[in-house]
Amino acid sequence: MFTRKEFLQYIALLAGGAYAAGCRTPGAYDHIGGSILGASAAAGHQLRDGLSVSPQKTIRTGVLIAGGGVAGLSAARKLRLSGKTDFLLAELEPQTGGNSLSGGNSITNFPFGAHYLPLPNPENTALMDFLTEAGLLKGFDKGLPVYDELSLVYEPAERLYRKGRWQEGIIPQVGLSPQEHDEMKRFLALMQTFRDAKDSSGRHAFDIPAALSSRDPQFLSLDALTMEAWLQREGFRSEPLRWYVDYCCRDDYGAGIKTVSAWAGIHYFAARRGKAANADASAVLTWPEGNGRLVQHLRRHSHNQTLTGTIVYRVQTEGNTVLADCWNYQTREAMRIVADHCILAMPQFIGRRILGETPGPQFTYAPWLVANVHLRELPVDKNLPVCWDNVIYGQQSLGYIYAQHQTTDRRPAKSHVITLYWPLDQLEPADSRRKALQLQHRDWVELCMAQLEQGHPHIAKLVTAVDCWIWGHGMIRPIPGFMTTEIPGTPPRVHFAHSDLSGISIFEEAFYQGESAAMRCLG
């Protein structure tokens, strides 16, 4: 437990200026219900504290996939499509999906984590095949993919609240000085140059999957410094530009320009070259339940072969087999799974421990808060209505997504859900994680409302409930040195698959890591 003083310091840090202003009426949020949800920290901690039970039975399988996030589910899909049906998937949580989990009520679905997929790069045919299989990519027109119209984000997609008004898009544009305007233009032009750049072997400087990016020192040297140092070196000093780049890094990495490498910071802007016949290149694919929709399609390949509520707590190899000890905390049953191969589709900080090893120092993870805010009515704003993505300039949180934006139902909804995204990067991850997990629901309600009230002063009276989901180890942080530090190998027949191996926590990377691990099992 932390002291009252530490508690208040942490709240003040999280809230920034918003909460310190302290102009709330006492009891203003008493009508707001909801609860703290979240991944099974207790189950995870059983593992951390050293689970050791004697297996009561033995199961034989070809491949054991340990972990049912996007990477594990993608590995299962790849195995099945390659004709290898002899596999089992063990997932710690009561359901698969990992950070791409979603929920719903009688009115709408909503995300608890990942919520969108940008248009895939043209070379990413494996991902496009999956989107085709899921009915989300309908075909090609003059070589360009045609995406399902209902899955493409509807316009207006994004808005930014700055200087007392909402503007369209999240790049600050309104009220910039000529010098700020020029810097923004120069930065975006430079990112385009990086997007077009290739090395002498024809590899893109920055690519997705990240493993396909150039290893040429002219680009890899960007892994040695922070994004902030790079901006400084290149003479980018304007406040709106620094805010914008910091926002983007926090969005994809849960950590800002002071923390992530320049390689990762530039990758955010330069690695995407997706196009569509029926949408702008900047469009994204999204659904009310976010990437929960993609999870739903992936699950089809493993649903009869999934053991949920099952912690894989020890993995060893013996001759040509892998022995994985598992504990089902729901049935309180321990078992040993004997497999030809094991895919550890879980983060390194867990997987290495299961193997009796220590994860490399480059593996650090950003904690996040995701809050689903239930409203009787949407706030009404004068100059621009609620968009899919709504960002308030200069905030600690990243703003909110309006899940129902992706509905074609023209009748007024009886209630609404907006999803607030908040990387908890104000302290070092371990400290932030520990403190965030100790805050009570009423603390989070006050903090979330203080964020929302900056753009919508009277929103509290519209809110009925706030459900908070804390992701303790939400995203891998691509700190300087990540891309250039080698990841140690694994015992024979044991393969890692998780987005953290890429240093970039996005659907495409998890999908790629899952497919790659499955291919290694298939030889």
Residues that bind ligand FAD (CB under 6 A): 47, 66-72, 90-93, 98-100, 113-117, 291, 311-312, 345-347, 350, 368, 370, 471, 474-475, 498-499, 505-507, 510
Nearer to ligand FAD, 238 or 505 (CB): 505
Separation CA 71–CA 515 (nearest Å): 8
Separation CA 395–CA 401 (nearest Å): 15
Shortest distance (Å) from residue 453 CB to ligand FAD:
22
Shortest distance (Å) from residue 178 CB to ligand FAD:
35
Nearer to ligand FAD, 112 or 393 (CB): 112
Residue whose pair of structure tokens reads 């994985």 in the numeric block? 324
Question: What's the CA angle centered on 166, arms 165 and 167, to 5 degrees?
Answer: 120
Shortest distance (Å) from residue 1 CB to ligand FAD:
26
Nearer to ligand FAD, 117 or 378 (CB): 117
Shortest distance (Å) from residue 112 CB to ligand FAD:
8
Nearer to ligand FAD, 176 or 370 (CB): 370
- Please give the backbone phi and psi of residue 282, each rounded to the nearest 5 degrees, phi first: -85, 0
Nearer to ligand FAD, 220 or 491 (CB): 491
Q: Tokens for 281? A: 């290149």
First to last CA, the chain: 49
Shortest distance (Å) from residue 503 CB to ligand FAD:
12
Nearer to ligand FAD, 93 or 183 (CB): 93
Nearer to ligand FAD, 34 or 113 (CB): 113
- Which residues, at least 6 apart from 57, have a Cβ–Cβ distance to it below 8 Å? 333, 335, 336
Shortest distance (Å) from residue 77 CB to ligand FAD:
12
Dihedral angle of Cα 227, 252, 168, 237, to the nearest 10 degrees: -10
Q: Which residues pair with 111 in a beta bridge?
A: 102
Helix (H), strand (E) at residue 473? strand 463-476
Shortest distance (Å) from residue 92 CB to ligand FAD:
4
**Omega of the bond prior to 111 within 30 degrees of 0, cis?**
no
Shortest distance (Å) from residue 380 CB to ligand FAD:
27
If DSSP codes are grouped into helix, strand and coil, which group holds residue 26?
coil
Nearer to ligand FAD, 240 or 274 (CB): 274
Question: What's the CA angle centered on 493, arms 490 and 494, to 5 degrees?
Answer: 45
- Please give the backbone phi and psi of residue 467, each rounded to the nearest 5 degrees, phi first: -105, 120
Separation CA 76–CA 84 (nearest Å): 9
